[in-house]
Structures are given as structure tokens and as C-alpha cells.
Amino acid sequence: MRRLLVVGMLAAFTFTSAAAQNLEIIKARKDLLSNMGDATKEPGKMIKQEVPFDAATVKAALDVIIDKASKLPDMFPEDSKTGGKTEALTAIWQNKDDVASRFKKLVAAAKAAKDNVADEFDFMETWPKVVGNCGACHKKYRAEKK
Ligand code: HEC
């Protein structure tokens, strides 16, 4: 009887810790993604000419993208498909290589852009090439907003 109780407790413990880990990584990847979202806000306004162009802000945003997007390929383990209000589509886990290479491509585009945003004209041409990667992946792998 006592042994059964211990086994039961162990099972319950294993279950809760697995669930906790899963929610933790979902939260962590959402944080990385929303950091990138926040970073793109000011340059997005610059593109629309709502605020004046500022090269330093753009470069800082590119650094955030490079940093976060480098970490993101590891943020989709098998136990993070559901829960935590994730908008990640299951297609991600069927196309892991494609997802990883899209993040790599985003990093490469952001790195290349850093040398090409010194003036507003270069920025206007370069910025859309960076953020085009965001929308393209969302279309394929992120649930539509309802
Ligand atoms: C390779 C695919 C991919 C790329 C590239 C990508 N995203 Fe996402 N993004 C996702 C997925 C998948 C989710 C949903 C994650 C979840 O809910 O678990 C997401 C969610 C988000 C969210 C919502 C985060 C939250 O708090 O729920 C923001 C904001 C975001 N992305 C911004 C960006 C920006 C900005 C870029 C480009 C600089 C970008 N993403 C590039 C796949 C991508």
C-alpha cells in the first residue's frame, strides 16, 4: 500500500514537472518573439515616415533580431506543441529544417542589413527585406489571429 502511494506521488511529480517545462519554453519563445516585435516597431514607423529616420535605433533593432532569432530554432521541442496559448501550428514539427533555416535566413538578412542602413534611402530598401522574413514564416507556421 505504502509503495503504491509512493509510486503514485512520483508519477504525479513527473507529470507536473514535464508540464511546467513545456509551458516555460512556450513562454520563453513568445518572449523572444515579442522582443523582436517590439524592436521592429520604431523602424516600422520610420518606414511609414511617422517618425524621423534614426540609424542608431535601426541598428539596435537589428541587433535584437540577430540575438533573438539565433536562439529561436531551439525553442520548439516536441513537448511544446500545445499549451500556454501557443499560436504555433503543428506544421512546425513536420518541417523542422525549414523552420530552422527561416530563422537562419532572418539572422543573415539582419546581419547584412546592419551595413546597409546608414542613410534613409538604404534603410527604405533594406528594412523590408529583413521583416519580409517575419510575415512569410507567420503565414505558414503561426495561427491566424481571430
Ligand atoms: C521561422 C518562423 C518565424 C519567423 C522568421 C518569425 N516568426 Fe514570429 N512567430 C513565429 C511563430 C511560430 C509564432 C507563434 C509562437 C507561439 O505562440 O508559440 C510567432 C509569434 C510572434 C509574435 C507573438 C509573440 C507572443 O507573445 O505571442 C510576435 C510579436 C512575432 N512573432 C514577431 C516576429 C517578428 C517581428 C519577426 C521578424 C523580425 C518574426 N516574428 C519572425 C514564427 C516566426
11 φ, ψ (degrees, to nearest 5): -60, -45
As a whole number of angstroms, the distance between CA 127 and CA 77 comes to 30
Residue 128 to residues 8, 36, 107, 109, 125: CA-CA distances in angstroms?
Answer: 55, 15, 14, 10, 7
What's the pLDDT score for residue 22? 85
What's the pLDDT score for residue 145? 75
Q: Is the pLDDT of residue 17 over 60?
A: no
Residue 125 to residues 66, 101, 119: CA-CA distances in angstroms?
Answer: 19, 23, 10
**Nearest C-alpha to atom 3 of ligand 1 is from which residue?**
137
Ligand 1, closest atom to CA 40? Answer: 35
Is the CATH number of domain 2-141 1.20.1090.10? no
What's the pLDDT score for residue 25? 95
Using CB atoms within 10 Å of the CB of residue 39, give its burial: 0 to 12 exposed, 13 to 18 middle, 19+ buried: buried
CB distance 105 to 133 below 8 Å: yes
For residue range 105-115, list pLDDT tens digits in order. Answer: 999 999 999 99
64 close to ligand 1 (CB < 6 Angstrom): no
Quote the cell numbers at residue 85: 496559448
